Chains A and B, each alone.
Chain A
Amino acid sequence: MLNNKKFRDPALIKKIVDDLNNWKKPIKIMEVCGSHTMAIGHWGIRKLLPPSIQLISGPGCPVCVTPSSLIDELIKLKGVTIATFGDLIRVPGKEETLEQARAKGLDIKLIYSPLEALKLAEKKQVVFVGIGFETTIPGIAQTIFLAAKQKQFNFSVFPAFKLVPPALDALLSTEDIELDGFLLPGHVSVIIGSESYDLLPEKFGIGGVVTGFEPLDILRAVKLLTNQISKDNPQIINEYNRVVDSSGNKIAKQIIEEILQVEDALWRGIGWIPDSGMGIKEKYAEFDAAKKYNITLKDEEGNTGCRCADVLKGKIIPPECPLFEKVCTPAHPIGPCMVSSEGSCAAYYKYER
């Protein structure tokens, strides 16, 4: 177990920063997780690194990658309460956001835990919007399990779950993106374990470091990546071993396995990625809002000029979008990357201007 005191030691930070500033070869490192994007902005880490080391943001926030057609479909639902995590209500659909629809009478309840949605179902029909990566999925799966146990048929979940390793696989397989390494998400990995990323070095020859959210975590991860790159020895390293282990949380994985199955998923700006999401198993079909209300998602992002797709793929940084700051701001988001506080564009707006 690492001693956490070290993670705030300015002398140590300076040592790593000085060391990294000797790095000459231009490299691109993608931070997959929106919380990392936030932490990197907050601690001013981009400015500490030499120009040769570029950190780019990836598809790291489930809110940002939620397709607009999901918002449109939710707005069409009649006679139900929509329960959702807060960030989603400001995501633009084709015509409007859930927040704007709420002003016109759509019944929306913001909640912190899926269990609150289940409780709400004691009084009315509730559709819970199941967005989230592997960190969030087990809690929602367990809530479906409890709904089945309580025979609470007022409750259903629309499964819009996303899985991180398949998305990285698809990103590297289909897009022409030059990447030299990954900063891998800390809290997704608590559930799935660091070994879930072994495909990155094995299939693509790119290494990654599972890391935490403190400045030294991130700087150490960058340093570990430069070490691998200079030795041409790509591998997955778990820097965050005070929290993450190699195999993840067994019980959480069992509950996911009981309720959900791997399916294709629609990522906003990226499109359908095979096996990168989860649907609800036939055994629990009564709790599947997609079946109950016959909802299917379409890949039809409107032509707003938003470059989120390229941001999520790491092709451009947010200020390279012509709308950034001029038209698109956190108060008036045009695209989803500006909505969630962890969205790449929102993080750049807050920290990197």
Chain B
Amino acid sequence: MCLAIPAQVVQKDGEKGYVNLGGARKEVMFTFTPEVEKGDWVLIHTGFALNVISEEDAEETLKLFDELGTIQDEMELENKNVEQ
């Protein structure tokens, strides 16, 4: 339930603003992260930004969320290769 998701800040007016969450524009409160700026990546949970993360890490994490399963498949393949 408390999984937080990385998203990029697209607009910030004081405490309020918007993030791009997988293509959707979502309203977010920056109460806990007053230092963020447009373009920054944040972890979002129940409409609040919990902290700032680096873009590189966020993109990588997003990709991993996107590609769930591939690593396991690759590993299974590799295990098979090892067995053979």
Query: Which residues from chain A sit less than 8 Å from chain B, CB to CB?
Result: 1-2, 4-5, 7-8, 10, 13-14, 17, 34-35, 42-44, 48, 61-63, 85, 87, 112-116, 131-133, 135-136, 138-140, 142, 185, 187-188, 190-191, 212-215, 242-243, 249, 251-252, 255, 340, 342
Contacts and interface: CB of A to CB of B under 8 A. Distances in A.
A162 B72 CA distance: 34
Contact of B50 (A87, A185, A249, A342): A249
17 contacts: A4-B57, A4-B61, A7-B64, A44-B72, A62-B1, A85-B46, A113-B47, A132-B2, A136-B1, A138-B32, A138-B50, A187-B43, A188-B2, A190-B4, A243-B43, A251-B32, A255-B32
Nearest to B70: A8
B46 A114 contact: yes
Contacts of B61: 4, 212, 214
A303 B42 CA distance: 44
A17 B67 CA distance: 21
A113 B27 CA distance: 10
Contacts of B78: 10, 14
B3 A43 contact: no
Interface string B13-55: 0000000000000000101111000000001011110110110
Contacts of A342: 1, 3
B52 to A, nearest CB: 10
Interface of B: 1-4, 29, 31-34, 43, 45-48, 50-51, 53-54, 56-57, 60-61, 64, 67-69, 71-72, 74-75, 78
Nearest to A114: B46
B54 A242 contact: yes
B64 A113 contact: no
A113 B2 contact: no
Given A7-B64, A187-B4, A243-B51, A136 B57 contact: no
Contact of A63 (B1, B46, B64, B69): B1
A32 to B, nearest CB: 12
A251 to B, nearest CB: 5
A53 B73 CA distance: 22
Contacts of B46: 85, 112-114, 136, 139-140
A85 B2 CA distance: 11
Given A4-B61, A8-B64, A115-B29, A85 B1 contact: yes
Nearest to B2: A135
A214 B29 contact: no
A63 to B, nearest CB: 6
A48 B2 contact: no
B1 A139 contact: no
B64 A190 contact: no
